[in-house]
Amino acid sequence: MKSIRTVLLVEDNPGDARLVIETLREQDPHNSVLVHVGSMCEAEKYLGEHTVDIILLDPGLPDAQGLGAVRRAHAAAPGVTLVILTHVDDEELATRAMQEGAQDYLVKGQFETRALLRALRYSVERKRLDLLKDEFVATVSHELRTPLTSISGSLGLLVGQAAKLPEWAARLASIAHSNCQRLVRLIDDILDIEKLASVRAVFKMKRVSLCPLVEGAMEATRGFAQSYNVRIRMHAECEAVDVFVDADRLTQVVTNLLSNAIKFSPANQEVTVRVEKLAETARISVRDFGRGIPIEFRPRIFEKFAQAEATDARQVGGTGLGLSIVKAIVQRLGGEVGFTDAISGGTIFHVDLPLWNEALHDDTDPLIKPGYEAA
């Protein structure tokens, strides 16, 4: 585990700062250097001139509060471990801080002071592993995706000229093109799921009418359904309802659910879609008439690379990332995703989203919690 040489404490409360300094010096009297500043401006100036191993940040600074402070710290030193140390015990704020680049969220008075250095060391190790993962994803993107896209395009041209090729050559070209496209989709899904787990995924939230969005996704998926000899239809009249979402990301959710339902539906069957307004949420439901989800697989259905059986990926051409992407997006949209068994067979996946509320969804930063001001 990497040792901690320099800690930058960004804390404007003298009493809290003194306690942290004394605690760290008691636990690690010789190895670590601790630098204390009282504002974000001072922290940014210091980080511009020095390197540190870890930033210990109180997000209640006089010149930067809440997620604004987290964003500025991460922007000033994106490769440095960032740990939040605050009096605010807020699970949602903690989650958003982690999404903004923090490695841990510590609440003052709720952790044993003797364990502070250990928590910081674990955070540094998590950051190191995150950087290794980012390096791997970058390699996948640049070293694999680009040549595969070129190869797939070349094979597509060959398949388009199949009539001029010998039968055996046309068959091999078609198989190679299909497998190459599958690899490109797999890489795209890997990049997408990693992007959703980081701050690189920007969500443009706005008021969206569900019916046109869902109907558009259905229309865009009809060609795919026809290739499986499956029909898509709206279960009942689409109920007019507005939500506060990123339209492109929600379209991706509906498309993934439709594609998943189509692939697991028997030929000559149908996939039905329903949009309805519940008490406090809007619900999108997608139902298939397939064999259902095995009981032993249900706890893992939204995990990455999950497949109910080893043969599923070969039979339906899935990557095992579609539902994991759906869950990640829905959670970022403030909603929930789940599934139930249909009464007469098959499975119903549903997405619940908060209704549009003009009093709540104004032009303020949706990431800033009450009591904090945008930086």
* CATH code of the domain containing 265: 3.30.565.10
pLDDT tens, position by position, 45-81:
999 999 998 999 998 899 988 888 988 998 888 888 9
Question: Is residue 370, in this structure, part of any structural domain at all?
Answer: no
pLDDT at 104 over 80: yes
pLDDT at 25: 78
User: For residue 202, which of 335, 363, 329, 355 has the smallest C-alpha distance?
Assistant: 329
Bridge partners of residue 107, in order along the sequence: 86
The overall average pLDDT reported for the chain is 83
pLDDT greater at residue 256 or residue 112: 256
Tally Cβ neighbours within 10 Å of residue 267.
7
Question: Is residue 342, in this structure, part of any structural domain at all?
Answer: yes
Residues 243 and 317 sit within 8 Å (Cβ to Cβ): no
Question: Is residue 375, in this structure, part of any structural domain at all?
Answer: no
Q: Which amino acid is at 156?
A: G
172 and 61 fall within a common domain: yes
Alpha carbon of 118 to those of 24, 96, 109: distances in Å?
A: 10, 23, 16
pLDDT at 363: 43
User: For residue 152, which of 201, 188, 126 has the smallest C-alpha distance?
Assistant: 188
pLDDT at 198: 62
Q: For the residues of 211-250, what is the DSSP string, one character each?
A: HHHHHHHHHHHHHHHHHTT-EEEESSPPPP-EEEE-HHHH
210 and 197 fall within a common domain: no
Residue 324 structure tokens = 């994991």
Q: Name the domain count of the chain.
A: 2
Question: Crossing angle of helices 91-99/67-76, nearest 10°?
Answer: 20
Question: Is residue 367, in this structure, part of any structural domain at all?
Answer: no
Q: Which amino acid is at 286?
A: V
Residues 232 and 270 sit within 8 Å (Cβ to Cβ): yes
Residues 105 and 97 sit within 8 Å (Cβ to Cβ): yes
14 and 147 fall within a common domain: yes
User: For residue 272, which of 292, 288, 252 has the smallest C-alpha distance?
Assistant: 288
pLDDT at 254: 96
CATH number of the domain enclosing 78? 3.40.50.2300
Question: Is residue 369, in this structure, part of any structural domain at all?
Answer: no
pLDDT at 142 over 70: yes
246 and 341 fall within a common domain: yes
pLDDT tens, position by position, 325-361:
899 899 889 899 999 998 888 999 999 999 988 766 6
Residue 123 structure tokens = 């955070």
Mean pLDDT confidence for 255-275: 93
Question: Crossing angle of helices 322-332/247-263, nearest 10°?
Answer: 150
196 and 234 fall within a common domain: no
pLDDT at 316: 54
184 and 218 fall within a common domain: no
pLDDT greater at residue 149 or residue 212: 212
pLDDT tens, position by position, 273-317:
999 999 889 999 999 998 888 888 888 888 776 665 544 444 555
pLDDT tens, position by position, 24-49:
777 666 667 889 999 999 999 999 99
Question: Is residue 373, in this structure, part of any structural domain at all?
Answer: no
Query: 207 by DSSP, 3-state: which?
Result: strand
Range of the domain at 6: 1-201
Tally Cβ neighbours within 10 Å of residue 305.
15
Phi, psi of 184 (to 5 degrees): -60, -45
Phi, psi of 347 (to 5 degrees): -135, 145
- Please state, in angstroms and rounded to a whole number, the distance separating the CA atoms of residues 53 and 294: 47
Which residue, 201, 220, 240, sits at the end of a domain?
201
Question: Is residue 368, in this structure, part of any structural domain at all?
Answer: no
236 and 188 fall within a common domain: no
183 and 286 fall within a common domain: no
236 and 183 fall within a common domain: no
User: For residue 286, which of 220, 356, 370, 218 has the smallest C-alpha distance?
Assistant: 218
pTM score: 0.60
219 and 197 fall within a common domain: no
Could you give the residue ranges of the DSSP H alpha helices within the chain?
Answer: 14-27, 40-49, 67-76, 91-99, 116-139, 146-160, 167-196, 210-227, 247-263, 312-316, 322-332
168 and 248 fall within a common domain: no
Q: How many helices (H) and strands (E) does the chain have?
A: 11, 14
Question: Is residue 363, in this structure, part of any structural domain at all?
Answer: no
Start-to-end CA span in the chain (Å): 35
- Please state, in angstroms and rounded to a whole number, the distance separating the CA atoms of residues 60 and 41: 13
Which residue, 201, 233, 261, sits at the end of a domain?
201
186 and 211 fall within a common domain: no
